[in-house]
Structure 1
Amino acid sequence: MPEAVASPCVNICRMEDGLCAGCLRTIDEIARWASSGDEDKRLILAAVAQRRIRRDPDADPACNCSD
C-alpha cells in the first residue's frame, strides 16, 4: 500500500495575500486537505510547487521548508 501524502504544513500558519506564509496553500486547500484523497493532495502539492517557483525561481519546488 502506498504511503499517505504528507501535509506540507510547517507550522507557520499566517495568511498573506491569500496564501499561507508557511506552506503556500490557499485557505480552501488547507480546509479541504483532511478530507481530500491522495490524488487531490498531489494536485495541491503541485500547485504549491509552482507557487514556490514563481516566488523564488531558484527554490527547490520539492522543498517543504520555510523561508
Structure 2
Amino acid sequence: MKDPCISVCKFSDSICLGCGRSKAEIKAWKKLDNAEQRMVMAEADMRLISLGSKARRKR
C-alpha cells in the first residue's frame, strides 16, 4: 500500500489533518504489513470524518 501522506502535515491532538493518522502511526507506517496498513487507514478515515477535515488524499 502506498504511503497516504498528502504533505499537509498539520496536527490536531497528534492526528494529522491531511491523512488522519496519528504521529505514532506515521512513524510506524513502513514497518506495518498490508493488513495493518488497511486497518490504520480505516481508522484514519473515521478520524478525518469526526474532525471534519477538508483535506483530500492523493489517489
- Any residues of structure 2 matched to 1:20-35 within 5 Å, and which? 20-35=16-31
Aligned pairs for 1:37-52 within 5 A: 37-52=33-48
Identity %: 27
- CA RMSD, Structure 1 to Structure 2 (Å): 1.8
What number of residue pairs does the alignment pair up?
56
4+ runs deviating over 6 angstroms: none
More helix by share: 2
- Measure, in 1, the Cα distance between the counterparts of 2:23 and 2:16: 7
Give the counterpart letter for 2:24 in structure 1: D
Report 1 or 2 for greater relative contact order, CA contacts < 8 Å, sequence distance ≥ 6: 2
Q: From the CA coordinates, give the structure whose radius of gyration is larger.
A: 1
Aligned to 2:57: 64
Q: TM-score, normalised to structure 1's length? A: 0.69
Question: 1:14, 1:55 → 2: CA distance?
Answer: 13
Q: CA deviation at 1:18?
A: 1.2
Matched residues in 2 for 1:24 and 1:17: separation? 11
- Give the TM-score, by structure 2 length: 0.77
Unaligned runs of 5+ in 2: none
**1-side partners of 2:8 and 2:19: how far apart?**
8
1:43 deviates by 0.4
